[in-house]
């Protein structure tokens, strides 16, 4: 469809204008505007076939973390701090790495689907399961030694001890990521996002019921909330797996294949590049929470910042849905050899995500005194969150662009290149600047956060924007076509 619109309609329009030279300038402009509007509308429909269900499923999925944190917050300040550290730091690192590694499927499956090599999608899915499961085994020590690691990073002893207990309860959740994330990307590349959305919605209902049972009926405390989150995520795994293997994907799933064990090294390299790229982004704001843990009045600072990060993470599901949609659209167009279509998909996606980010930034500023009520009723924490609302609004606005540009990188297969950019911007510029703003200028958590936003995220976004604007899309399309054939 995209080829037909972007490649053929313009010559037809030009021919009509040549045959009817008596048309005046306003009429010519009107024809061009209609053509552009049609192209935008067609691309928007294609994009939102991925983005719409992805927003719903990602918000529902993330809401399970938020609900878990909210139940923990109503148990007490220590429980809220422990759950925040365990979910935002330990699981945050794990989540970012495994999600990034699974994103390699957006490149491979997206380009293969665009080239109509359907059988390879199932092979890629199985390779991803193998690679991510091995990675899960490698990451297990982080959960076993969470308490001493957190103490080494400067967290208070009581918070570190309880966070370590919660982290152990998250081990089943950790292994669910290795199966769930590849399944989501596999289905997403085939535009089967409604399946993901419905399964996630069912898991959310199960999760609410489980939390109510373990907190108010069984009185299992923060440990019960952590276990209920793990069980809810395994509900998602079984739902997506049964749909895939029981006939939901007849073209792309042809059964388990020994071919999944071939080409693992090349697949591992692309997965590792994707994992490092996304993990460096995801871990960046977790570093902010760890640095805040070394401030005075640490529990209030961590609670306030964790609430802001949870709100940011909740809204971030929308740009991440655009990240997924852009990755799929760019990969599909490049796999089909249509460089202009990939470029146009990028422009439409960035514009729409930016508008949505602007709306949410304004809402955050307008309701800055009420946004934390879902997590806590502590007046001290509410006041602290209100003071941080300006930085939260700016972070949301900036993050409405940055993930979409990363989605372009995933769709184009630039993961290793972007990983170096993320490393330099985030950890060689952003973290040192945040450190400087607090321990030299004594600006507290606001200083750390502002330094990391303006020093890291803003610079990284600007570099990715320049790279995207200077991209030779026809050359990328030729490379993608060659890769699929090989």
Checking if the pLDDT of 154 tops 60, the result is yes
Residues 6+ apart with CB under 8 A from 22: none
Mean pLDDT of 455-467: 85
Checking if the pLDDT of 45 tops 60, the result is yes
Checking if the pLDDT of 379 tops 50, the result is yes
Collapsing DSSP to helix, strand or coil, 249 comes out as coil
Q: What is the reported pTM? A: 0.71
Q: Which two tokens stand for residue 263?
A: 């080409």
Q: Are 96 and 281 in contact (CB under 8 A)?
A: yes
Q: CB-based burial of residue 230 (10 Å sphere; 0-12 exposed, 13-18 middle, 19+ buried)?
A: middle
Mean pLDDT of 292-304: 67
Q: What is the dihedral of CA 357, 358, 363, 365, to 10 degrees?
A: 110
What pLDDT is recorded for position 483? 67
CA–CA gap between residue 234 and residue 210 (Å, rounded):
13
Of the pLDDT bands very low, low, confident and very high (cuts 50, 70, 90), residue 358 is very high
Of the pLDDT bands very low, low, confident and very high (cuts 50, 70, 90), residue 289 is low
CA–CA gap between residue 437 and residue 445 (Å, rounded):
9
CA–CA gap between residue 480 and residue 412 (Å, rounded):
8
CA distances from 56 to 6, 251, 317, 356 (A): 30, 26, 9, 15
């Amino acid at each position: 469809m995209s080829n037909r619109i972007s490649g053929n309609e313009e010559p037809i329009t030009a021919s009509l204008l040549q045959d009817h030279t008596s048309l005046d300038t306003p009429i010519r402009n009107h024809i061009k505007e209609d053509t552009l509007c049609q192209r935008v509308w067609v691309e928007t429909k294609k994009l939102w076939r991925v983005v719409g269900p992805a927003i719903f499923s990602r918000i529902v999925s993330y809401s399970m973390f938020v609900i878990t944190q909210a139940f923990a917050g109503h148990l007490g300040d220590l429980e809220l701090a422990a759950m925040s550290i365990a979910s935002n730091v330990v699981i945050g690192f794990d989540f970012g790495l495994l999600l990034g590694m699974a994103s390699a499927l957006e490149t491979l499956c997206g380009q293969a689907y665009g080239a109509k090599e359907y059988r390879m999608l199932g092979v890629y899915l199985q390779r991803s399961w193998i690679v991510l499961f091995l990675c899960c085994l490698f990451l297990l020590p982080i959960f076993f030694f969470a308490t001493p690691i957190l103490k080494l990073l400067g967290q208070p002893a009581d918070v570190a001890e309880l966070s370590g207990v919660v982290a152990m309860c998250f081990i089943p959740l950790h292994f669910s990521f290795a199966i769930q994330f590849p399944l989501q990307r596999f289905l997403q590349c085939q535009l089967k996002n409604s399946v993901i959305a419905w399964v996630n919605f069912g898991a959310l209902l199960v999760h609410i019921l489980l939390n109510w049972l373990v907190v108010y009926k069984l009185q299992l405390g923060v440990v019960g909330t952590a276990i209920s989150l793990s069980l809810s995520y395994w509900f998602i795994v079984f739902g997506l797996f049964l749909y895939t293997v029981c006939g939901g994907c007849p073209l792309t799933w042809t059964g388990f294949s020994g071919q999944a064990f071939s080409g693992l090294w090349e697949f591992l390299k692309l997965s590792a590049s994707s994992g490092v790229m996304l993990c460096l982004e995801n871990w960046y704001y977790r570093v902010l929470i760890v640095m805040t843990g070394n401030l005075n009045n640490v529990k209030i600072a961590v609670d306030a910042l964790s609430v802001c990060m949870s709100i940011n993470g909740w809204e971030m599901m929308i740009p991440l849905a655009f990240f997924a949609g852009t990755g799929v659209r760019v990969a599909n167009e490049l796999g089909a050899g249509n460089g202009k279509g990939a470029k146009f998909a990028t422009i439409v996606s960035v514009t729409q995500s930016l508008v949505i980010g602007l709306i949410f930034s304004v809402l955050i500023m307008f309701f800055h005194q009420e946004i934390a009520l879902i997590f806590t009723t502590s007046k001290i924490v509410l006041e602290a969150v209100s003071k941080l609302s300006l930085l939260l609004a700016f972070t949301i606005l900036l993050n409405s662009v940055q993930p979409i540009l990363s989605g372009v990188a995933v769709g184009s297969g630039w993961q290793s290149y972007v990983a170096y950019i993320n490393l330099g911007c985030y950890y060689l510029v952003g973290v040192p600047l945040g450190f400087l703003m607090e321990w030299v200028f004594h600006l507290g958590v606001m200083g750390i956060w502002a330094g990391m936003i303006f020093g890291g995220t803003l610079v990284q976004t600007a570099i990715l924007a320049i790279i995207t604007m200077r991209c030779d899309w026809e050359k990328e399309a030729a490379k993608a076509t060659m890769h699929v054939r090989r």
